[in-house]
Chain A
Amino acid sequence: MREKQEHTISMTRIRWEIHRAFYSFWTGPLMAVILMQIAALLFMGAKGAGRIYLNLLPLLLLISLAGWLFTSVAHGNRKVLVYSLILLTVGTMLQCIFIEELVIRTGTRDPARTGIASLELQYLVSLAAALAAGIVYFCTDFIARKKTAVLMAALAVGLSLLTLVFSEGVGGVKNWISLAGISLQTTEISKLLYIPVCAYILGRDRETDRRTLAFFYGYTFLSLLLLAVQGEFGTLLLLLLVFLSLHLLFVSDLSWLLGVVLALTAGGGILAAIGRKLTQMQLDGSGARTGALVRFYLDAYSKISNRFIYWLNPEKDPAGLGYQLLKAKESILLGGFFGTSSVTDLPVKSSDLVYPALIERCGLVFALLIFIVFNLLWLEEMKVFIRKKQRYHQIIAAGFGTLVFYQALIIIAGSTGLCPLTGITLPFISSGGSSLLVCFIMTALIIAVSGNIPWKGGMEE
């Protein structure tokens, strides 16, 4: 079923591809993006972080040019790249401001201590990984093979188990693992691997039979269970939404989806009722001697229920569980339409509460525009899904497209008080090497999918 096409690489071809990619450079959107990246220097200068941004600017330009060349060679969707570059530029600006604020607070400009060196390394590694992933996906059907799918599923489960065993746990969440001095957020890797594994399961045939569904449900349940045990409920919610989206789009029989939704609702209700009963028993003193499993269950239950309680009434505990949301709201009010220079001390401003931090520093109008860019990115990714004819590529485009969009939606809504706050990152903008790496790879894969891929998706010979 695979279509074989010979690729000839010659210097003439390389010269021709470079010529084709950059022939309209001076009038094209890439030039506008690069000008925006340079114009951001003015803003960064006003914020006092011009020097730090200047260090990262060459890397941003390199990423833009390399991304453009790759997109052009693959005949990919350039709008996906342009929107991602806008988001990456904003993310870089914000990280530079945070570094400058850290420099003012600590009084040191040592690149290693302030995190500039680490940020530069993250950008380079992410670019290399994204290009490698994009080229491999474009040129070979390696990712769609059975052995690779099994390997990816085993890697995702293995990494989660390793994290459970070796992670120290931060704030009740076990999602970090240190390898040779480099911290890795394994839940991000599991999230990335979930989509190709599901694409392999669902992409083999147009009609999904019971066996396929059993694999799909089984792998999803295992992934969600491991995330729940790790205490990573934000990513759990994200994967659940992606699972429901893939189910809706790629399982033609809607009665199965209805069954899944009913089962999830009933299961959630039962779990909540058990949690309420156990909490009541503990308060009464009848459950004084409880096992580890019950303690774990009660911890998770109180964590999730507290999110809802302090989302609705953060002023109940202004110095404790409602502190983050109250400070986020304060930042939003302080930011006004075009930002302010007098910033408040916002907790987890570089990761979970990055959107209120963006509003505070750049204003509501700018932040709203960034939200619109996320929406446009999602629309373009959905266009890729609709236009692709082969099922495997469709699942990859729809999976990564919805993943990025839901992630942005959950954290933006959570940090602005529109829904309970969960600890996930805002794609391209939040700090974190694992998150950045995964975002780069996802974008590269979507661009590769949107191009003229020479192999047919997911069909086994």
Chain B
Amino acid sequence: MAVEWMTLLSAAAVILLIAFIIFILFRANNDLARAQEEGEHFVDEWAEREEKLEEKRRLRKAREEELKKMEEARQEQAAFEADYRGRGKKEGDGRQKQPGPVRDQKADPGSQKQPRRFPDQKESRPALLLLELDENKRILRRIPVDHIPFRIGRSNDNDLVLDDLCVSRKHVSIERSGDRYVAVDLGTKNKIFSGGKLHDQLPLEAGVRFFIGNIEMLVEMKR
């Protein structure tokens, strides 16, 4: 009797385990897909944080360099003035006037009346960012487009080198058209694939996804 009860209990437990495994198999799919999407904001958040830190470091370094240059110029100016005053004093004593030292205009930023301004490098840079995506639409890397034209292709002399056989040696050039950016195909076989069509020219706006060969890119505009 006890054996029968135990068999029954074990069969019930087996059914429970089967239900659990089926639940995991079915739900794991949905849960993981959702978690993947939700998890993206963690990845973005970290990347944004790193980018901000990098920007801060870059600005701090630029500011330090600027201050150093100004300090050097100030010291040089002070040295020049001291020398000039010394000579003026000697002239006042009745001696022949000596020509003063020739002022180096380039090395004397004080004479050019340059405004002491924090260097804002964003002005000279295009506000465009390309995000390379993997098969699961996760961000593999962030590529700032730091100058125009920005060339993309398989060969090493491009600004962005893509290691994919479907990418031509010189595939795409990112150029400015008015106040917009445009990806221009450089006469390749596979062209630029976006929205189910092949494009020779593709206007780049925030959120636009396109393929260069097998590599998917997402456009992001810097704030």
Enumerate chain A interface residues (CB-CB to B < 8 A).
16, 19-20, 23-24, 27-29, 32-33, 35-36, 39-40, 42-43, 45-48, 75, 78-79, 82, 86, 338-342, 361-363, 365-366, 369, 372-373, 376, 387, 389, 452, 456
Contact = CB atoms under 8 A, between A and B. Distances in A.
A373 B7 contact: no
B20 A39 contact: yes
B13 A46 contact: yes
Given A32-B23, A369-B21, A338 B32 contact: no
A341 B6 contact: yes
Contacts of A36: 17, 20-21, 24
Contacts of B20: 32, 35-36, 39
Interface string B1-43: 0010011011111111110111111011101100100110010
Contacts of B22: 369
A376 B25 contact: yes
B208 interface: no
B42 A46 contact: no
A328 B87 CA distance: 112
User: Nearest 9 pairs between A and B by C-beta?
Assistant: A43-B13, A46-B10, A338-B11, A29-B28, A36-B20, A46-B9, A341-B7, A20-B42, A42-B13
A340 B23 CA distance: 24
A39 B16 contact: yes
Nearest to A86: B21
Contacts of B29: 79
B135 interface: yes
Interface centre among B20, B22, B163 (most CB of A within 10 A): B20
Contacts of A387: 134-135
Given A32-B27, A338-B15, A23 B42 contact: yes
Nearest to B36: A78
B52 to A, nearest CB: 13
B138 interface: yes
Interface centre among A29, A35, A387 (most CB of B within 10 A): A29
Given A28-B31, A452-B140, A341 B18 contact: no
A366 B31 CA distance: 23
Contacts of B140: 452
B24 A29 contact: yes
B46 interface: yes
A247 B179 CA distance: 54
Contact of B17 (A28, A366, A456): A366
A373 B9 CA distance: 25
Contact of B24 (A20, A32, A366): A32
A365 B28 contact: no
B17 A363 contact: no
Interface residues of B, number: 35
A366 to B, nearest CB: 5
Interface string B138-158: 101000000000000000000
6 contacts: A23-B42, A86-B24, A339-B7, A341-B7, A361-B10, A365-B14
A338 B14 contact: yes
A366 B10 contact: no
Given A78-B35, A389-B163, 10 more contacts: A24-B38, A29-B28, A29-B32, A32-B20, A33-B24, A78-B32, A338-B14, A341-B10, A366-B14, A452-B134
Contacts of B164: 389
Contacts of A338: 10-11, 14-15
A94 B39 CA distance: 36
Contacts of B163: 389, 456
Contacts of A361: 10
Contacts of A342: 3, 7
Contacts of A373: 21, 25
B38 to A, nearest CB: 7
A47 B24 contact: no
A182 to B, nearest CB: 33
Contacts of B42: 16, 19-20, 23
B19 to A, nearest CB: 9
B187 to A, nearest CB: 25
A23 B38 CA distance: 10
A216 B67 CA distance: 63
Contacts of B24: 29, 32-33, 36, 82, 86
B192 to A, nearest CB: 20
Nearest to A93: B17
Nearest to B34: A24
B35 A28 contact: yes
Contacts of A24: 31, 35, 38-39
A27 B14 CA distance: 24
A109 B29 CA distance: 42
A340 B6 CA distance: 9
A243 B52 CA distance: 49
A47 B38 contact: no
A389 B32 CA distance: 23
